[in-house]
Every structure is written in C-alpha cells, then in structure tokens.
Chain A
Amino acid sequence: MKKKEGFVEFAVALFVIFMIAIMIKFTMDFREMRLVDEYLEDALASAVLGAAVVDLDTYGATRDIVIQGYHGRESEGADPINGFRQSYNNFVESFKASLGGTPVEYNEKPKKALEYGRSKVIDNITIESFQVYNYVGGSYRRLYMPDDLLVWDKIADLSPVVTPNYGVTHAKTNPIVGSSSEYLVDLDGNAIGTTIYVKIGYSLALPNGKDLGTRGFREYKVSIYEEVVTP
C-alpha cells in the first residue's frame, strides 16, 4: 500500500516537537529540583539559627554561653532538658514555617510536622539528628535525640549526656573521636563554643510527584561564641 504523501514530513515534525517538549520538561524539572534544594538549605539555616538562642540569665551570672533555657549549672538545679525542648521547638516551628507548613501545634510530632512542603520535589522530611552541645566549664554537655526516639513526647525521658571524651575535646593532646560533622574544635584544637548540630533527611521526587526512591541528607551546624575585641 502506498503511503500518503507528506506522511514522513509529518512524522518528522511531530518527532521534533516531541523532542523539544521532552527537553523542556527535563530542564524545567532539573531547575525546580535545584531551586527547591536551595530553598530547603535556606529554611534549614534559618531554623538552626532560630534554635541557637543564648540564655541571657546564665550568661549574666556565669559568663557561660548556653542555649536558652539551660538556666545555669546542673549542680545548682539546672534543667538542661528544658533548654533542649525550647531549642528544639524553635527549630521545628521555624523549619515548618520556612517550608510553607501549616500553623504549628506545640506537641505535634516532628516526623508528621515536617511532612508539609512547598513542593513535591522534596517530601517526607525528617529530623535525623538534633544535638545541642552546651559548652560549660571547659567541657561540652550534649543533649540529643537518638534515632529511635525521634518523637517529641519522649524527649523528656532523655537524660543529659555529658560527653567530654566523645567526639568532643578542646585539648590538642586528645584525639578527636566521631564523625567530622560533630567536630567541635577548630583547626588549632580550640573549643568552638556552644553548638547546635542538625541533620535532616528527605525523599527526592520528580515535580510530578514520582518518587525517585532515594533519600538525601543535609547537615547544618551553628556555633555561638563570645567575640573578644582587642582594644
């Protein structure tokens, strides 16, 4: 059977248009994913900065820079858990708001709370690690949530973990143990001050919502220290 005249040209035209459309879709998807990724990083930075609020009472009394709510030394009846709770709450609320989340419920569980997002590209955001290192009296006191206790209700069950030899040291002679993300010393081995470290995880998907089956992770750390001004 003889083909109709112009069939080949028509097919070629359709193919060209189809290819252009595919290329456009690919570039747009790629750009949107990059944009959302940057947006996530900015939101994380704002949230961690929001969590890093210094306790002025403690600073005024002892010159120790600790996270708000720490309320002095443990030996004097301090409640570091309260500070941790406050700091964590600031982080969650800031992060949710910056990602376009819904109004915050104070006792909302973090995993559920952070499922809201501005885009389908990044979804199912979870807090993998949230650690507060209060630098008091020459050593760090770490407060953290283990992965299996990543639930708001159970934070109160945790005890403060004093970790002078766990990944944290300000003495040059002691080796540093732990992952690089947990280093709390500078290159000279000096302590870098009270620090908040956060690691989040998220699922990656195409803009049409198709899950890519992979999870990304992002870390952010804010250290607070007293700036010494030499006259």
Chain B
Amino acid sequence: MKKKEGSVDKIAIALMTIIIGGILTFTNIAFTQAMETKAQLNAVVREYLLDLESNGWVAGINDNNTLKSELEQMKVSDKTAVVVKYYAYDVNTGSKRELTSSSKVKYGEQIEIVVTGAIPITQYDYKEGQSIVEIPFEITRKTVAKVVNQ
C-alpha cells in the first residue's frame, strides 16, 4: 500500500514532543528531588552521629527513636518504614550482634548503625494516599564506641 505524502501531522508531532519532553522533565524533577532528599538524610545522619560521638554512642543505642523520628519527618516513604539498627562487632571473633536499648557496649567496641527506608519518586496514589514508585536507601556508618555503659 502506498503511503500518502505529507501525512505527518504537525500538531501530532508538536503534541508528541510536548508529552515526551514533559515526561522527561517530570522524571528529572522527581529524581532530582529524591536525590536531594537522600543528601538531606545523609546530612541528618552525619549530624546525629557527630552528636553521638561526643557522648560515646551510648545515648544513641539506648534511645532508638530520636534519629528515626527525625528522619520520618523528611520526605521519606509512608509505605516503607524507616528502620534504624545498631550492631556491635567483636574484633577478635568477627561476630556481630544487634544492639537494643538494654544492650551493653564495651569501650572500644566497633559499632555500626544502619538506616534503611525509601524515598517516594512519584506523586501520591490518590486511592491509598501512598507513593507508587520508591527508591530504597541504606545509610551505613561504622565507628567505635567511646564510653562504656556497663
């Protein structure tokens, strides 16, 4: 079948350009915002850890909610919860144990903090009120406890 010459519709091309350009721009904005949020999350964790450093990490381990609630106030996902976990390492045996608010920490013990959660990318789902697409994040920091709590 012979194609018709000049069948390309200028309006269709313009619309297509606008739609594709719009989608790309929207995606760019969404990802940019997500990356900014991640940078802010990093900054909050950094400040928190520097505070902990001055009191030897004990306060942070005993109070597992301060950082979590601080992070939850940022643009994180409602669907995926922010989880903050502390671990301690035994250098001699290489064993790792999770710390709870009642755990004892030895002076000089290696401590690891792992923060996980997700950042929403798309707008909120109008039915569920939750984000549709999310980028998971994990922030891990390891250092050494300076104060004994036992």
A residues sitting closer than 8 Å to B (CB atoms) are 4-7, 9-10, 13, 16-17, 20-21, 24, 27-28, 31-32, 34-35, 38-39, 42-43, 45-47, 49-51, 53-54, 56, 68, 89-90, 93-94, 96-98, 100, 103-104, 106
Select from chain A the residue with minimum beta-carbon distance to B8: A6
Select from chain B the residue with minimum beta-carbon distance to A6: B8
- Since A24-B28, A31-B35, A50-B142 are in contact, a sample of 5 more A-B pairs with Cβ atoms closer than 8 Å, ordered by chain A residue number, is A6-B9, A24-B24, A35-B38, A42-B141, A90-B144
A43 to B142, CA, bound (A): 8
Select from chain B the residue with minimum beta-carbon distance to A103: B94
- Say yes or no: A4 contacts B28, CB within 8 Å: no
* B39 CB-CB contact with A under 8 Å: yes
* B25 CB-CB contact with A under 8 Å: yes
A54 to B107, CA, bound (A): 10
A54 to B142, CA, bound (A): 17
Known contacts: A4-B6, A13-B13. The answer to whether A94 contacts B110 by CB under 8 A is yes
Interface residue SS majority, chain B:
helix
A11 to B57, CA, bound (A): 61
Contact of A46 among B7, B24, B143 (CB under 8 A): B143
Residues in A neighbouring B112, C-beta threshold 8 A = 97
* B133 CB-CB contact with A under 8 Å: no
A179 to B99, CA, bound (A): 42
A182 to B101, CA, bound (A): 40
- Say yes or no: B13 contacts A93, CB within 8 Å: no
- Say yes or no: B13 contacts A9, CB within 8 Å: yes
Select from chain A the residue with minimum beta-carbon distance to B29: A24
* B131 CB-CB contact with A under 8 Å: no
- Say yes or no: A97 contacts B45, CB within 8 Å: no
- Say yes or no: B46 contacts A45, CB within 8 Å: yes
* B5 CB-CB contact with A under 8 Å: yes
A21 to B9, CA, bound (A): 24
Known contacts: A9-B14, A10-B8. The answer to whether A49 contacts B35 by CB under 8 A is no
- Say yes or no: A53 contacts B6, CB within 8 Å: no
A–B Cβ pairs within 8 angstroms, 21 of them: A4-B5, A5-B6, A5-B8, A6-B7, A6-B9, A6-B10, A9-B13, A10-B8, A17-B17, A24-B28, A28-B35, A35-B39, A49-B144, A50-B110, A50-B143, A50-B144, A53-B146, A54-B146, A93-B110, A97-B112, A100-B140
